[in-house]
Structure 1
Amino acid sequence: MLASPGARELARRGVSPDIVSGLSIGAYPAAVVAGALDFADALRLVALRGDLMEQAYPHGYGLTAIMGLTLAQVESLVEGSGTWIANLNAETQMVIAGTDEAMASVAKRALEKGASKAHRLAVSVPSHCELLAEPAQKLVAAFSDVTLSRPCCAYLSGSTGRVLWQPEQIADDLAMNMARTVRWQEAVISANEREARLAIEMPPGGVLTCLTRQAAWEGESISLERSGVDVAVHLAKRLRS
């Protein structure tokens, strides 16, 4: 939830977003920055989300990244394997979810098919697939006690690649994203179509900056943590001049 301090500092310097988006749990700080979700509610819901996911699958499951294959190739590998496509990050950068054994089998076959890389991620939960449908419904119930607001800027769903304005749609997107495929490339394409030309990744890290660049992004993409606030402010003001 470190996105909000970074966004507040940018706002203090006169830089406010036209669009916000987040990958997986990052959708929550995105909703906070957009004014759709209260920060205290976000903290409580994120904690519950983590508990529900961990309790559902404490061990033996997870995520594996596959790079260098097309979507059609990965779809053929996961069909009937007991794994699911969890993330569509870029044209040839995907993540699958499932049991350790099933993912290892798919990873082996992916490398045989010409994948440049197939490696197990340090994650113990099979996120973004139907295995988490039941815990996601429990989170939906928790959202019934939370009041969301219409966002002050476009909230771009990382699960659908569409902009959402209605509070009930944003609540559904946040609650259910643990069980839905991440479609980051589609979100980036949607941002391109809305003429966004500067993507600023909030702390921590810079993984999304790299993914955004790989996903046919037409503008500049920077990590606030690595590039700093001064660079972000300069680029934003240059775009608006």
Structure 2
Amino acid sequence: MKIAYLFPGQGSQKPWMLHTLPKHPAVQQVLNEAREILDGEIDCLDSKESLESTVAVQLSLLIASVAVARAFESEGVRPDIVAGHSVGAFSAAVTSKTIEFADALKLVRLRGRLMEQAFPSGYGMGVVTGTDARTVKEITASCFTEKDPVYAANINASDQITVSGSLEGINRVIDQARKKGARTAELLNVSIPSHCPILETVSHALEEELSGIHMHSPEVPYACNRTARLLRSAEQIRDDLAFNVSHPVKWHDISTILCEFGTRLFIEMPPGNVLTTLAKRALPGARSVSVEENGFKNCLFLGKRYTSIQS
């Protein structure tokens, strides 16, 4: 009866998400630490205007999810496995004790800046639902050109696949997917072509930065974004943190691996419940809850209950 913590990525952010976190000493401690590391930047970091910045979004996601995970830990609830979607991988790495929170803050700030600078306009992401990954990959391959590159990206569910690249290329994919019977095919409100080879330069810059950071072996397994395998070494996690931004996230496979590992309770850290919804679809036999939707106290109660069953 293992417990998995799920850490959301970009797209789950909400205005004032840091201001609506549970009132808990451990949460306040994380906010204070973030304020010190970021030179007081966090007071308006989660405002509607600030969240137009990729840097602010990714930092807010990291701070929010780590804060609540720390609150659970202080109450005696710890995960048996961690999985973060895209930038959520940094929260997973912090919670598995692989990387220090202060280092993660600096890395995520750099990650966001590099992503913003890489492609200021003309690029983005889309999503196709109601068809499988193989079909989406075939469509993107047929729509790819050197001038307007486009790639199949994240496999969030068996029938929910994102595409990344030039807006021209994405629009061609959307048109073809609709013609082939996709349930939906549309642009996402994202201006950066994440999780495809276009961002390889960002990955190499992160790799260089990560090479100078001391990391520890994880206390619990970490689910790899790129391979959906469970990682148990600092070096493997270092690579995933650097390169997940330029590779597809195999989230559907991760969900399956977590269940095979024996996970029966999934708790999604704030904000949002996107990963909870995906877990419920992929693993109807497991219990999936989110702190935002179900409440901190209810999730804590479930965490303690499953912890006591294990012991």
TM range (shorter): over 0.9
Q: Does 1:157 align with 2:219?
A: no
Which amino acid in 1 is paired with 2:295?
G
Q: Does 1:169 align with 2:269?
A: no
**Distance apart, 1:160 and its partner CA:** 1.2
2:123 aligns with 61
1:179 aligns with 246
**Distance apart, 1:217 and its partner CA:** 5.5
Identical aligned residues as a percent: 39
State the Cα deviation string for residues 31-76 of structure 1 (Å, max 9, x = none). 0011101111101100111111111111111110100011221121
| Equivalent position SS for 1:35 | coil
**Distance apart, 1:111 and its partner CA:** 1.1
Which amino acid in 2 is paired with 1:33?
T
* CA-based RMSD: 1.2
Which amino acid in 2 is paired with 1:65?
V
2:112 aligns with 50
2:265 aligns with 198
Indicate which of 211, 214, 218 corresponds to 1:144: 211
2:163 aligns with 96
Aligned pair in 2 of structure 1 residues 58, 200: CA closer, same or farther (>3 Å)? same
The answer for unaligned runs of 5 or more in structure 2 is: 1-61, 145-149
**Distance apart, 1:80 and its partner CA:** 3.4
Aligned pair in 2 of structure 1 residues 180, 103: CA closer, same or farther (>3 Å)? same
The question of whether the paired residues in 2 share the 8 Å contact of 1:60 and 1:99 is answered with: yes
2:188 aligns with 121
| Equivalent position SS for 2:266 | strand
Structure 1 CA distance for aligned equivalents of residues 137 and 204 of structure 2? 26
1:110 aligns with 177
| Equivalent position SS for 2:143 | coil
The answer for unaligned runs of 5 or more in structure 1 is: none
| Equivalent position SS for 1:64 | strand
Structure 2 CA distance for aligned equivalents of residues 160 and 8 of structure 1? 27
Write out the 4+ residue segments of structure 1 that deviate beyond 4 Å after TM superposition: none
Indicate which of 95, 103, 107 corresponds to 1:41: 103
1:87 aligns with 154
2:89 aligns with 27
Structure 2 CA distance for aligned equivalents of residues 183 and 215 of structure 1? 13
Indicate which of 226, 232, 237 corresponds to 2:293: 226
Structure 1 CA distance for aligned equivalents of residues 162 and 281 of structure 2? 15
| Equivalent position SS for 1:20 | strand
| Equivalent position SS for 2:115 | helix
1:3 aligns with 65
The question of whether the paired residues in 2 share the 8 Å contact of 1:192 and 1:218 is answered with: no
TM-score normalised by L of structure 2: 0.75
**Distance apart, 1:118 and its partner CA:** 1.0
**Distance apart, 1:14 and its partner CA:** 1.8
Number of aligned residues: 241
